[in-house]
Amino acid sequence: MQTQTFRLNQIALVFTFAVSLAAGSLAPSASYAATHHAAKAVPQKKATARKDKADSTPGLAADVALADNPPALPAKAWLLMDYDSGQVLASANAEEPLPPASLTKMMTSYLVEQALRSGKLKQTDLVSVSQNAWCRGTNTESCMYLPLNSQATVIDILRGIIIQSGNDASKAIAEHMAGSEDGFAKLMNAEAQRLGMTHTHFVNPTGLPDPAHKSSAHDLAILARAIIHDSADYYPIYAEREFKYNGIKQGNRNALLYTDPTVDGLKTGHTDEAGFCLVTSSKRSDMRLITVILNTGSAQARADETRTLLGWGFSSFEKNTPFQPNAVVSQAKVNFGKADTVAAGLGAPWLLTVPRGQQVQTSVEIKTGLEAPVAKGDVVGKVLATANGKPIGEAPLVAQADVERANFLMRAWQHITKLFGK
């Protein structure tokens, strides 16, 4: 009887979500059972009231902006980052540690992806669902609906974390990889430290509320950039709109995936404490931008604010290529080599994101005291770019050829000429 009741609840959940989609609410409403995190389902009337409150909230003005007229957004923190360089193009309150809700699961999925890349995990490995990980079938948290004491493959678990925001999937993989949620949190914090997430501390793999569980808009953008860069084989999952498991099909709560074909990730989050949160990435032509919205008033608001931020970013910035790869930028002086200098140039394409219409100036810094032997590809300096007097990026300069070490007599002569300043 209990099993039958649970299955009826599951069917009701699917029906509710289908109605939500049919009504045009592509991000599930507060009545949908699998709301982000363990936040109690909110009746539609209350959800509407909250949206009205969000609409009347004053916008938070940018405290950092590299172009004119950045938007003011009614969130506790927001940020726009250029993916290629990691440069923050505009932000407000981006360093304040705030509750990240299910955005936490980006670190959970990232650790799974890196374990798959390194071979520590295989896609077909089976993950067991403990009593602690299991969702009870209530409407109080987002679940993948893994049956108690069942097993699921790692790749299904990963989809359940990313698309369905499953707390059960996150807990199960944490126990599988580290023995416990506490053990996994240590892995999360170590990785956050490695990535340079200086305002982040994780307590659990789900983002369920805890006073010590915090992250900042800037840190979450750093994490999003790492996922896109390091998890190329798995990043397409972040763009998947739905995933069906255990007979239940659930849609991705990132509404922009349904309305903007340039958006291909990443994650939504919500608790009463954290408000509505969204980390998004969009690529248009040769430019990819990352946005973070923390603690705004509704699912609609986080989508609208992200659209506004992306619209401003793509219209205000453009790509600039100061030098072509392998072009000679400067000459580096080499001591004790068969040649006195070596050509220095870029070793890889260098794309800068700059305010539209602004001229880019460059300056070169060459390492001093460079001695042979020098191998082709060795870093011999760097080139710095500025626009309107503000630094906008830098790139390493590498030797374009080998320089062998001179023989003893030639080195002795060079020592003498250096001694006499010749």
pLDDT tens per residue across span 301-324: 999 999 999 999 999 999 999 998
| 372 and 268 in a common domain | no
pLDDT at 422: 52
SS3 content of the chain, % helix, strand, coil (to 5): 35, 25, 40
Residue where one domain finishes, among candidates 291, 317, 343:
317
Q: Is residue 323 part of a domain?
A: no
Q: Is residue 352 part of a domain?
A: yes
| 311 and 346 in a common domain | no
Q: What is the CATH number of the domain that holds 103?
A: 3.40.710.10
Categorize the per-residue pLDDT at 94 as very low, low, confident or very high, splitting at 50, 70 and 90: very high
| 205 and 294 in a common domain | yes
Q: Is residue 380 part of a domain?
A: yes
Q: Is residue 57 part of a domain?
A: yes
Catalytic residue among 29, 85, 165, 170: 165
Residue 102 among the catalytic residues: yes
Categorize the per-residue pLDDT at 375 as very low, low, confident or very high, splitting at 50, 70 and 90: very high
Q: Is residue 395 part of a domain?
A: yes
Q: How many domains does the chain have?
A: 2
Q: What is the CATH number of the domain that holds 346?
A: 2.60.410.10
Q: Is residue 250 part of a domain?
A: yes
Catalytic residue among 85, 91, 105, 215: 105
pLDDT tens per residue across span 173-209: 999 999 999 999 999 999 999 999 999 999 999 999 9
| 266 and 136 in a common domain | yes
Residue 105 among the catalytic residues: yes
The domain of 349 spans 328-419
Q: Is residue 322 part of a domain?
A: no
Q: Is residue 84 part of a domain?
A: yes
pLDDT tens per residue across span 145-162: 999 999 999 999 999 999
pLDDT at 75: 98
H or E, element range at 268? strand 263-271
| 380 and 248 in a common domain | no
For tokens 């404490």, the residue is 273
Catalytic residue among 85, 102, 142, 215: 102
267 phi/psi in degrees, rounded to 5:
-155, 145
Q: Are 9 and 137 in contact (CB under 8 A)?
A: yes
